Amino acid sequence: MRRRFIRDAALTAVALAAPGWLAAQATPAVPAAAAPAVGDTAPDFVLPGATAAGAAGPIRLSDFRGKTVVLAFFFKARTKG
Amino acid sequence: MDAYRDQYAQLFHGGKDVVLLAVSTDSVGALASWARDAKYPFRFASDSGGVVGRRYGAFNEKYQLDNRTLFVIGPDGRIAWRAAPFREVDPTAYTELAAAIDQAAK
């Protein structure tokens, strides 16, 4: 009887903690930042690249120093705009 | 994206001194197959998870996508111009973008 109580209590604790744990997992690792302003150094990054020829290896923004870069964020592939 | 392709020569100087980098949360595979089908002559980057989008204030938490936001970054690595959001259906948006690119790439 006592053992079952302990087991049930443990299960209840897990059930109660789970939503909080899931919410914590969903929280973005990088908080939303304000857009960098004109005159600011553009934050550097490395992302996997792609071209019409296929996967293009990592793209590092600072590799394009000396050229003008147009960074165009967009919603989704195969949508307009 | 078709507008960028169709104006690639004029707007982006045919890629000579200007690098157009289109960024979304799509996978590399989705971006590459789209670029191949639509014959896009420029680069894409896969920002799955929106880490870079967040750093540039472009990430939409509700839809978990990058909002249409444009930055022109000069040869010195500094932001020369930005449009948040970029009004892609408004022809004057392209005029402004062209002017910003020409100014930065001068």
Q: Residue B54: which of A28, A61, A78 has the nearest Cβ?
A: A28
* Kind plus residue range of the DSSP H or E element containing B37: helix B28-38
Beta strands in B1-106 (DSSP E): 18-24, 43-46, 59-60, 65-66, 69-73, 79-83
Bond from prior residue into A43 cis (ω within 30 degrees of 0)? no
B22 interface with A at CB cutoff 8 Å: yes
Is residue A75 in some structural domain?
A: no
Q: How many other C-beta atoms are found inside a 10 Å radius of the C-beta of residue B60?
A: 17
pLDDT digits (tens, 9 = 90+) for B21-69: 999 999 999 999 999 999 999 999 999 999 999 999 999 999 999 999 9
pLDDT digits (tens, 9 = 90+) for B67-93: 999 999 999 999 999 998 898 888 889
Is residue A10 in some structural domain?
A: yes
pLDDT digits (tens, 9 = 90+) for A51-66: 999 999 999 999 999 9
Is residue A45 in some structural domain?
A: yes
CATH topology of domain B2-104: Glutaredoxin (3.40.30)
Q: Residue B105: which of A41, A42, A68 has the nearest Cβ?
A: A68
Mark yes or no for CB contact A35/B29 under 8 Å: no
Q: For chain A, give the secondary structure using H, E and C.
A: CHHHHHHHHHHHHHHHHHHHHHHHHHCCCCCCCCCCCCCCECCCCEEEEEECCEEEEEEEHHHHCCCEEEEEECCCCCCCC
* pTM for the predicted model, two decimal places: 0.80
The residue of chain B with its CA nearest to that of A49 is B45
Amino acid at B24: S
pLDDT score recorded for residue B88 = 81
Please, what is the average pLDDT of chain A?
77
CA–CA dist B53, A47 (Å, integer): 11
Is residue A35 in some structural domain?
A: yes
- Which residues of B are less than 8 Å from A51 in CB distance? 32, 35, 40, 42-44
Residue A17 is encoded by which pair of tokens?
A: 């903690």
Is residue A59 in some structural domain?
A: yes
Q: Residue A45's domain spans which residues?
A: 2-64
pLDDT band at A81 (very low <50, low <70, confident <90, very high): low
Smallest Cα distance from A16 to chain B, Å: 26
Please state the φ and ψ torsions of residue A23, each to the nearest 5 degrees.
-60, -40
Contacts of A44 (CB under 8 A, 6+ apart): A60, A61, A62
Most A CBs within 10 A among B21, B69, B86, hence the mutation to make, goes to: B21
Q: What are the structural domain ranges in chain B?
A: 2-104
* Kind plus residue range of the DSSP H or E element containing B5: helix B2-6
